[in-house]
Structure 1
Amino acid sequence: MAGQYSHKQFFRKIPPAQLASYFATQQVDLGIDFSTYNEKQVDGLFAAFTALPEDQQTAIEAEFQDIHAMACEGGVAALIDEAAFHEDDSFVASIAAIDGFHAKVMWAFLEKHHLWQGATLFLHADNVSSSYWKKRNDFPQVPPDFEDNAIKALADSISAYFNKTEGRGRNCKVEPYRRHNKEYFFAFPEDFGLSAVEWVSNYLKSRASHPAFKIIFVYCESEGSLDIYAPKNTKAVPELQKIFAKTILNFDSLQDGTIDKRVYNLDPLADAEFTFQVEPESGIEQIVVTQLRLTLKHGTKRRIVLEADTKNNPQAVYDLLAKLNPPAYFITQSRIKVIFEAKLGKRARTRTFNITYPNSCALGHDGDDLKIRKILEKSGIEPKP
């Protein structure tokens, strides 16, 4: 994820030609000659921008913050996925030719704006912690219905459920997207009224509004699985599963089920000789165990957490384990670091995540995370569908 937003830092990261193009589309004349503009003039650009009328500046600031939030590896990956759905075969080569995440994302915002909304929603879903997803993998393997009446039925059913049980959800909109072999349905039910203190011109006022809360359904036909993200609405998940099955899968007899109860097998990670099954073409240079949590077999609530610096010694955790020689134990959590092959002139990327017994994993289900999950499956760690 990109760091905290700052006007001046944002202006420094966007190429002058893109800034000129953006402000031209907004019909905003800042009195800046972007053909000769450079980083040393950022203070002048900042002064001109902050002198804009309040409403105009606020609208542009909101878009700049959206662009900044997308300016990361995950944002570019989400844009590529959305471009693939739209069969834009030239997109990958075009965005790869642009240096810097902010420049890549600004180019997509300006030139490929039809990809923007889907990509931003995908990035949000990718950044949701695995603990918030509730999964069932016993769904009927039938194609989902994308017709307008089915989408409306899903929205209306979500609205009716929350309105009846909680008195909110009077309105709801659902937006469907396809990504690889998964179908995403982003639902936006109306939440309770909320009063917020805002600056309106030179006055501080309290404004009432009805924000939307978000529910995400991710359906995979080939797996017969449905993941639901419904933060603070866990009790509603069983009913949301039935609503989805009825409206999108045309399946009226879905039985009460449970969340995914597959179990990660962490036992192999106790062996210092264990190796992850990494394919040469995966782009991954090395996978290292950086932490192990041992739960002792005898006694209750006794754990040992082993952590060591693996920068110069990938086996450091196992060397410490051998030195301590603990009594009989189970591996109940592991922290794993994946090191990707470095590209020319760039530092190697890394991905660090935890796997916790019985079935918690901090990886997502797309992009590099999906690639890592496949390696875990081949290595006997990831539970198979």
Structure 2
Amino acid sequence: MKRELFDEDHEIYRQTVRAFMKREVVPKQDQWMADGSVDRQTWQAAGAAGLLCPWVEERWGGPGGDFLHSVIVCEELARVYESGFAIPLHSDIVVPYIHSFGDDAQRERWLPGCVSGELITAIAMTEPNTGSDLAAIRTTAKRDGDAYVINGSKTFISNGFLCDLVIVAAKTENSDDPHRAVSLFVVEGGTPGFIRAKKLAKMGLASQDTAEIAFEDCRIPAANRLGPEGAGFMMLMQKLQQERLVVGVICQSAAEQVLEDTIAYAKQRAAFGRPIVKFQNTQFKLAECATEVEVGRHFCDAVIRRHAAGEYLVKECSMSKLWHSEMLGRVVDECLQFYGGYGYMLEYPISRAYIDARVQRIYAGTNEIMKVIIAKQMGI
């Protein structure tokens, strides 16, 4: 389908991003997977090339682009099967909290470094016994004069070891309403009591630094609180919509690339004297996948367009996260089958795509939670 989201400037930007991926990402992917992390130099190179937080205004050190520039970065990462370089997490999930809820002093202090790649960010919501139920978190932040003292532990934190800033959700007061007891804080790397406990071994996202972190009497200035005390839950709910849409964008783009590469492979691989793409079963399965991908693209772009225009789309972003992550799982599973034994080998991108697809149904709120949200939005 012909897409109508992007203007000429966006397409020029896409070529810049695509060239960056070819030059700076693809040659390093094997090393990143072995290290379980992306090197800081590449983060800074991404900043210099304008790939980080492209929507941030010039006033705060950004290039003054828009959300569609971020969409392009997500799509080009998927195009080269790079799931671990967490630019979307940094640019479109974490930094927007500082931009939207920080005061001018906080923006001036942190946003330029986020844009340049000097400051890598993370967000710490999930705890060992608390996933999607954010109201049940146990990490506390107690006021002590002009400071807060944070205690607790967080897990599954992407960029947990690399991060220079981590936004922490913590309870600041006892309240009958748990939704009014959560506040958000920015904890800077190197702060005493901020402990990077261990790097976690995962099934997929091999080059992504994912960690368990802890806070033991971690004292931070009261000026590091984002927004009013007790407003953290509402801020999280507001920003989770974009997080879920970003997952949908990534899943849609990954499915498109997997399908394109599988069609090319099926034209080359021969069985019983002819390319497997000539078998009716292959044609039927690829036709089914192509239909799902095409439907997904129309819905994805419709939600992107409305979100970029400023609409607050709870139901649609939840639907995108739910449907696109499920669709990616179906498409990559069907496509892997055509590779035979080679599809099971990690040297083939299809194998990594299959592994990486599974977590899309879990993070940013599980798909079961998405169904609950959608049902509520339907009034049932």
Quickly name the TM-score band, shorter chain normalised: under 0.3
Give TM-score, length-normalised by structure 1: 0.25
Give TM-score, length-normalised by structure 2: 0.25
Higher RCO (CA < 8 A, seq sep 6+): 2
Tell me which structure has the larger Cα radius of gyration.
1
Greater share of strand: 1
Greater share of helix: 2
